[in-house]
Amino acid sequence: MQLLCGDGGANRPSRRPSAVVLGALADVRAAAPALRARGVKMIGALTTAPSSVARVAGVPILAAGEMSVLAQALQLVGGSPAYLVLASPLTCAEARAALDAAVTAGMRVAVVRDGAAPRPLNLSDLIGAPMRAVELESVQKLVAGKRILVTGGAGSIGGELSRRIAGLAPAELTVMDNSEFNLFSLGHDLAAIPHDAAVHLRFCDIRDGEAVRRIIERAKPDLVFHAAAMKHVPMVEANACEGVLTNILGARNVTTAAADAGAHVVFVSTDKAVNPVSVMGATKRLMEVYCQALDRDSPPNGLRFLTVRLGNVLGSAGSVAPVFERQLAAGGPLTVTDPGATRYFITIAQAAGFLLQAAAAGLEHDEVRGAAHILDMGEPLTVAELARDMIRLSGRRPGRDVGIDFIGLRPGEKLHEELVADDEVEAPTIGQGVKPVRSPPVSLVDITQRIEKLVSAARAGNDEVAKSMLHACVGQARARAATG
């Protein structure tokens, strides 16, 4: 792969690697020059649609049709080519099947698109539904010339969001985070991005209400993305009071200060807030209910408090992918909680794009006040299959070269995550793939009172009391909504 995706082969060995190219006829032809430029010999093609011709780009068509047929043909070729090159867009399931067939045949997998240089197949090619292109015009309208503030803006998701925003010509970008190192690193990243925005990096713990208010008052944002949170499920489960104080008190500090400053708010939530069983999920659900009540309350200044629900964000801090990468580097095995555990997966880049898209669409559709916004993330994937995919991407075979150990679900974890709660109703899609889901309304006064009592209990430091009160608050909010 180093040769295929390297510097044009200045130091290539004397023997040229070979490749079979998979894709539509036109895409196979377009890939040929890029492979030649890398010193790769194309020896055959697998076409995704039947054709009356026997050759393309000077090589024979080995098979045509469905992925199952192409995978079988690849097994017969195995041992001769070094690479399978994907020249056409494939569904995640098709890309996964191609990877499985290639690794079984002892081949590596690369991607060539539109004649560009080859790159390795990566995890984002295999995960979730293909992301629709962000509606750039609406997102630029959302950001350009505006003052934007991102909490948790130097973390995994917040950092990618901050980098995206900087490139969309905001007037000012203020990033709040409680990690000095992450802020320092993000500053270097932003300095490398061509932009004219004034950037302010602010060290702040969102649990400090006065500091939050001071920073937001000075920044005078038009829009706040609230991404700061404790999110690692077992960690929050073991530290319930800290989870409440960060995810609930901290979020309320941000929304209150933003509202006083006249800023719209985008609250970054999670699928773990749907029918929650964990402390982390319940804290997020309670703040979803709170933000939805604020949004429905329709203040005179027309401010919006949008809730956006993400799935498992691969590569973010505390997510499973970096754990698997470390285990692979050590030779395995990879540890998976349960063979049947499923999750909705998206990449960090997809998450940042969706947050921008959902914000732009949500602010344009006042009729969906009080809804949560979700993304079509395709079918859920078992965590075990994700582990097998990562083993294959490393060029090894699951169960033979690298094993998988099942260790059981950890505290607070569900076997299956969901995107829509039992009491929610899906509304028509708005924007590009943004789907609002409606919950029964809850009184803002009622939910505020419950939050006050819960925060007081968390400050007392008894995790079990805080945990019990939290789940009761979420259950009572649902019951109160159901009875009107």
pLDDT at res. 204: 97
Per-position DSSP letters for 230-297, written without gaps between them: ---HHHHHH-HHHHHIIIIIIHHHHHHHHHHTT-EEEEEEEGGGSS--SHHHHHHHHHHHHHHHHHHT
Domain-embedded: residue 175 = yes
Domain-embedded: residue 90 = yes
Q: Residue 346 — very low, low, confident or very high, per pLDDT cuts 50/70/90?
A: confident
Work out the percent of the chain whose per-residue pLDDT is above 90.
Answer: 65
pLDDT in tens, 147-175: 999 999 999 999 999 999 999 999 999 99
Q: Does 9 have pLDDT greater than 80? A: no
Closest by CA position to 427, among listed 417, 435, 418, 419: 435
Give the CATH number, domain containing residue 215.
3.40.50.720
The reply to whether 70 and 155 lie within a common domain is: no
Domain-embedded: residue 392 = no
Q: Does 434 have pLDDT greater than 70? A: yes
The token pair at 430 is 């708005």
The reply to whether 301 and 432 lie within a common domain is: yes
Q: Which residues are tagged catalytic?
A: 272
Mean pLDDT of 331-350: 92
The reply to whether 191 and 238 lie within a common domain is: yes
pLDDT at res. 7: 40
Q: Does 388 have pLDDT greater than 60? A: yes
Q: Residue 67 — very low, low, confident or very high, per pLDDT cuts 50/70/90?
A: confident
302 torsion bin: left (phi>0), alpha (psi -120 to 50), beta (else): left
Q: Residue 132 — very low, low, confident or very high, per pLDDT cuts 50/70/90?
A: low
The reply to whether 420 and 278 lie within a common domain is: yes
Give the CATH number, domain containing residue 79.
3.40.50.20
The reply to whether 162 and 257 lie within a common domain is: yes
Mean pLDDT of 69-83: 76
Strands laid side by side in the 305-310 sheet: 198-203, 172-177, 147-151, 223-226, 264-270, 305-310, 371-375, 434-438, 425-426
Q: Does 124 have pLDDT greater than 90? A: no
Q: Does 1 have pLDDT greater than 60? A: no
The reply to whether 164 and 313 lie within a common domain is: yes
Domain-embedded: residue 444 = no
Rounded to a whole number of angstroms, the CA Rg of the chain reads 25
Work out the percent of the chain whose per-residue pLDDT is above 70.
Answer: 93
Domain-embedded: residue 421 = yes
Mean pLDDT of 409-438: 90
- φ, ψ at 5 (rounded to 5°): -110, 20
Q: Does 273 have pLDDT greater than 70? A: yes
Least confident of 48-57, 273-282, 314-323: 314-323
Alpha carbons 36 and 355: distance in angstroms, whole number:
40
The reply to whether 235 and 202 lie within a common domain is: yes
Domain-embedded: residue 363 = yes
Contact yes or no for 57/82 (Cβ under 8 A): no
Name the range with the highest mean pLDDT among 13-17, 260-264, 395-399: 260-264
The reply to whether 107 and 180 lie within a common domain is: no
Contacts with 272 (C-beta within 8 Å, 6 or more apart), sequence order: 233, 278, 280, 281, 284, 414, 417
pLDDT at res. 130: 57
The reply to whether 65 and 142 lie within a common domain is: no
Q: Does 286 have pLDDT greater than 60? A: yes
- φ, ψ at 151 (rounded to 5°): -85, 150
Domain-embedded: residue 12 = no
Structural domain count of the chain? 2
Closest by CA position to 226, among listed 259, 191, 188: 259
The reply to whether 143 and 35 lie within a common domain is: no
Least confident of 1-5, 107-111, 474-478: 1-5
The reply to whether 26 and 103 lie within a common domain is: yes
pLDDT in tens, 297-321: 866 678 999 999 999 998 787 788 8
Rounded to a whole number, what is the distance in angstroms from the first to the last CA of the chain? 61
Query: Domain range spanning residue 67?
Result: 18-121
Mean pLDDT of 346-365: 91
The reply to whether 189 and 313 lie within a common domain is: yes
Domain-embedded: residue 8 = no
Closest by CA position to 448, among listed 422, 477, 415: 477
Q: What is the mean pLDDT of the chain?
A: 89
